[in-house]
Structure 1
Amino acid sequence: MKGTFYVVGVGPGDPELITLKAVRILRDCPVWLTPAAQKNGNSTALAIASSNVSTKEKIILSHHFPMKKIHMGKTPDGEVKDAWEKAAALINEQLEAGNDVALPTLGDPAIYCTGFYVYETLLKLNPDAAIQIIPGISAIGATAAVATTPLCLGDDRVAVIPAIFESDRIRDILLQFDAVVFMKVYKTMDRLVPLLEELDLLDKAVLVERTSMADQRVHHDLKAVLNQELHYFSTLIVRKS
């Protein structure tokens, strides 16, 4: 019998913010493919998973996924595509051997997650592969909780976007929606802050670095962070009401 591949959301960072199902799947899978942002670097997802499930008898396959921009409808960077293909080959080898494989991933797999690129690549390699997606608590929801603000109430409209959008597109979105969540803002605050100030939204915004992690930081004064180096895991919520 062939194995099953699981993309497992392990939550935003706090080891307690992981679902019971994610823990069960991780416990049952003999093989984990753990993502690392840097070559030979540590895996935050692995740290969360191993805080809940012992890795003593696990096969841990650490795999580097380059942190480069991906534009839908365009050919991905060659290094990125190569990483997906190598990951799919590693997973498929284990599945063919009858082993279940888990890919622990931060937050929820449905939101800007490498896991779905691996999912699609694996299906191209093996169209009959058995795959399951295990949802997790998202950084978006956790950030709203930390900021003690709802994302939406009543008939509110919410947008979730990567902060790499052009300023004109961001302006239009801010004007059209009641709440906007910006992901990956760590290199874009110099563009976002002036725009929010222009639209009189600075006092409606809150920035959270490393949501739910031990060194989490919450910023209400966005001008004060302009000259600071922000962590990659930074999320900005702008809520008008």
Structure 2
Amino acid sequence: MKGTLYVVGVGPGDPELMTLKAVRILERCTVWLAPAAKKDGESTALGIAEGVVNRGDKEIVTHHFPMKKIRMGKRPDPEVKKAWDAAAAQIVGHLQAGRDVAFPTLGDPAIYSTGFYVCETLFALAPDLPVVIIPGVSAIGASAAAAGQPLCLGDDRLVVIPATFENGRLREILEQFDSVVLMKVHRVMDRLVPLLKEMDLLDKAVLVERSSQSGQRIRRDLTTALHEQPHYFSTIIVRKS
């Protein structure tokens, strides 16, 4: 009997935001393959999971996934593809041996998650192996909650985008939508803040760093972040209403 791969959303940081189903699946799986952003580094997703679930005698594998840009429709960086292939190969071995594997991932697996790239690679190797996606609380929702404001109400139009787009495209999106969630903002604050100021949206924006994690920080004056790079886990919400 073959095992099942479970891609488990563990939420944005606070272990108490993990769903009951996520906890149950992690408790049941004998193998966890946890993503890490740095070689020989710790896995943030694993740390969250361990805040609720006792790892006991489970086999824990921490796998490094390089943090490099991925553009849809284009070939990924060779180093990134190599990491996906290696992770998928490990998972296939466990599943074919009848062991269930949990892949804990930050936030919700459906939003900018390494988990889905691994799934696609796995399907190319063994399309008949079962995969189940367990949704989780997203950093987007947690950031809005931390800021004490909605993402959208009524007929508001909401868009979620990487802040790494060029300014011309960002301007167009900011003009068209009522609520804009900007992800991956930590390296482009020097471009974002002047653009928001020019568009008279600076007072409509809030920056949430490390949402629901230790060290969470909320800034409504984004100019204070101009001369210091925010944490990697940072999100800006711009809501015009």
- What TM-score, normalized by structure 1, do the two folds share? 0.99
Q: Deviations over 1:85-121 (max 9, x none)?
A: 0000000000011000000000000000000000000
Residue in structure 1 matched with residue 129 of structure 2 by the alignment: 129
Q: What secondary structure sits across from 2:16 in the alignment? A: coil
| Equivalent position amino acid for 1:83 in 2 | A
| Equivalent position amino acid for 2:54 in 1 | S
Aligned partners of 2:15 and 2:48 also within 8 Å: yes
Q: What secondary structure sits across from 1:218 in the alignment? A: strand
Deviation at 1:229, TM superposition (A): 2.1
Matched, 1:176 2:176: yes
Any residues of structure 2 matched to 1:86-97 within 5 Å, and which?
86-97=86-97
Deviation at 1:172, TM superposition (A): 0.2
Return the alpha-carbon distance in structure 2 between the equivalents of residues 119 and 103 of structure 1: 10
Q: Deviations over 1:42-64 (max 9, x none)?
A: 11100110111111211001100
Return the alpha-carbon distance in structure 2 between the equivalents of residues 136 and 47 of structure 1: 15
Return the alpha-carbon distance in structure 1 between the equivalents of residues 178 and 239 of structure 2: 6
Equivalences, count = 241
| Equivalent position amino acid for 2:55 in 1 | T
Deviation at 1:230, TM superposition (A): 1.2
Name the Cα RMSD after superposition.
Answer: 0.5
Identical positions, percent: 68
| Equivalent position amino acid for 1:174 in 2 | L
Structure 1 outlier segments of 4+, above 2 Å? none
Return the alpha-carbon distance in structure 2 between the equivalents of residues 187 and 72 of structure 1: 21
Any residues of structure 2 matched to 1:4-43 within 5 Å, and which?
4-43=4-43
| Equivalent position amino acid for 2:5 in 1 | F
Residue in structure 1 matched with residue 141 of structure 2 by the alignment: 141
Q: Deviations over 1:173-200 (max 9, x none)?
A: 0000000000110001111101100110
Return the alpha-carbon distance in structure 2 between the equivalents of residues 184 and 224 of structure 1: 18
Q: Unaligned stretches of 5+ in structure 1?
A: none
